[in-house]
A and B are shown apart, each in its own frame.
Chain A
Amino acid sequence: MSNEELESQLSAMFDDELPATECELLARRLARDEQLRTRWGHYAAIGACIRGQPGVQLETALASKVSAAVKQEATATGVPAVGRQQRRFFNPWVTSIAGFASAAAVAALAILWMRNEGPARLAQNPPPPQPVAASTPVTVAPAPAQQLLAAAQPDPARLGSQPRRQSREPDSYVTPAAASEAPMLVPPTELANYIVAHSVYSGPLTRRNALSALVGGDAAVPQVNVQPAAVKVVTDK
């Protein structure tokens, strides 16, 4: 993926316009790409600066660049940057990154992360960042990836039909249905077939464990609803 495409994805994520599945992938990439994390941090800083976030102080060098860019853009378009960009940047992702995430937001993104990483990996994430009092100055800088992942707040529409949560709501969520666990190219049933085929070549220990996951998990093998083209279908009388 080119830098331009990545930039575009980051921007879309901030605009809350990136599909949930792509958000997941981008979040994973953020975890391992330091350069991307830096860019993410810059987005957060720019957003905070444009909104005139109270209590937020930018790092000096970055602050001057952002201010210059904002002024230049406002001059070129004739539209006050703050007003025009307010909608663009005023979304949960940016707000959270700026350090004002609610515990609810943390749990909501944790669900996104958990869908791919599993609870064990989730458990390694640092505890949710505490809400910061508005009067406390905060330096906006590229945040650690895990913190970013834990702090960002996705659009509730992506996670189901739950209404947008308020910051004082409890951080208790129901994990969405597992339908999106195996996205796009490989339906879960097909994935189960691949795991079975793979198990033939695994060692005895890993084979047993992999098959146990299929046998045991009620959601691991969803409804078999395909008529396989290369498979004979017989109904047992």
Chain B
Amino acid sequence: MIPVRAARESVLWLVMTLASVAAVAADTPQSWLDRMNDALNTRSYDGVFSHWQGGQVETLRIVHRVMDGEVTERLESLDGSGRQFVRDGAELTCYLPDQRTVLVEKAPASLLSTALPKFEGAVAAYYQLASLGTTRQMGQKAEVITVTPRDGYRYGYRLWIEHSTGMPLKTELLDTEGNAIEQVVFSSLSMRHHIADAEFKPQLVTTGFRWLRDDGGPAVTAEGTGDWTKAQLPPGFQLTAQTAQMMPGVAEPVTHLVFSDGVATVSVFIQTEVFRNTPNQQQPGVAQVGTSSAFTSVQSGHKFVALGEVPPATVRLISEGLMRQWAGQALGLPQGPK
């Protein structure tokens, strides 16, 4: 009996110790962020939130379902234009009733393993995580977590993560000075086990609408899109995905490179078909849509478009790094018509 009891007590002690460690771990900012990512990627929910950016507030509804690993989502503006995005697996449909137009895009298969941004590992080198404590948000207990960048190449976050579900009830995107430049606040949110297909159908009549459908382009091999791993990039950013895809209005496949520091993501699109006779660096341009920064330029007849939710300087640096590499190497990008 005694050996059995001793063994049982040992196991009990081990279980208690592990539980204690787990409890401590559950309180770290890292674990809160992991819970949030897990909730966003695996839970089904239906909510209404306000989106503030640039002094404008818009109310939107999101219906998000994860079933058998497949994501279906509908994002609808409840104000103004009535635009809607419906994502069904790899297909994204944009309903633009104000323009009587529907855009349908298919996500290409990535040539590299695409890792969704995660708050882990090397991220600590570029972001500082902290907990500001527990508060109440939307009547629920929420942990306030800050993700503060350690340099000026990325934005930060302030997140109100609900205790019971791990859902972010409120999020703020912070600029390099720590000022909120975008805010999303849920006014209602329900976690649902079952959401019917009908709830992803837009409640609008599309009679007479133009449908612009991208049926996908020819397959492009990894070799065909070049080796872009040697470009000089801002600290922490690495190539995480590389593919080629058809884009509306472009006859040739567009090379799509994705760079990430683990949290922020920047896409660079490289077109070859246009600007064949355009001098280098002619009319480089910057643009801002919401908090997404974009930088466009031309190098050796190739158009580079870099964009992401990062400061404008970051997309510019990434684009210029790639252009420098392009200028220095003869890469086998898909060639357009002569």
Contacts and interface: CB of A to CB of B under 8 A. Distances in A.
Interface of A: 1, 21, 24-25, 28, 32, 115-121, 123-124, 181-186, 188-206, 208-218, 220-221, 223-224, 226, 228-237
B210 interface: yes
B269 to A, nearest CB: 6
Interface in B246-303: 246-251, 256, 258, 260, 263-265, 267, 269, 275, 281, 283-292, 294, 296-298, 303
Contacts of B328: none
Kindly list the 6 A-B residue pairs having the minimum CB-CB distance in the complex, ordered from nearest.
Answer: A213-B290, A216-B58, A198-B267, A228-B248, A203-B117, A120-B181
Given A183-B285, A205-B40, A235 B92 contact: no
Given A215-B77, A216-B58, A218-B80, A195 B213 contact: no
B144 interface: no
B303 to A, nearest CB: 6
Given A202-B117, A216-B77, 9 more contacts: A117-B312, A190-B249, A197-B267, A209-B51, A212-B75, A214-B94, A215-B85, A230-B249, A236-B210
A217 B289 contact: yes
A154 to B, nearest CB: 17
B171 interface: yes
Contact of A220 (B36, B85, B101, B290): B290
A115 B312 CA distance: 13
Nearest to A114: B54
B81 interface: yes
B215 interface: yes
Contacts, number: 257
B92 A196 contact: yes
Contacts of A195: 289, 292, 307
A186 B177 contact: no
B184 A209 contact: yes
Interface string B79-92: 11101110000001
Contacts of B285: 21, 182-186
A209 B289 CA distance: 11
Given A118-B54, A191-B289, A185 B296 contact: yes
B20 interface: no
20 contacts: A21-B283, A116-B286, A120-B179, A181-B289, A185-B296, A188-B289, A193-B249, A195-B307, A197-B245, A201-B241, A201-B258, A202-B265, A213-B53, A215-B85, A217-B289, A218-B98, A220-B290, A226-B248, A231-B248, A232-B213
B175 interface: yes
B121 interface: no
A216 B305 contact: no
Nearest to A232: B213
A184 B283 contact: yes
B201 to A, nearest CB: 14
B243 to A, nearest CB: 9
A181 B80 CA distance: 21
Contacts of B36: 205
B105 A196 contact: yes
Nearest to B57: A216
Given A198-B265, A212-B51, A116 B114 contact: no
B117 A206 contact: yes
Contact of A234 (B177, B211, B251, B288): B211
B173 interface: yes
B56 A217 contact: yes
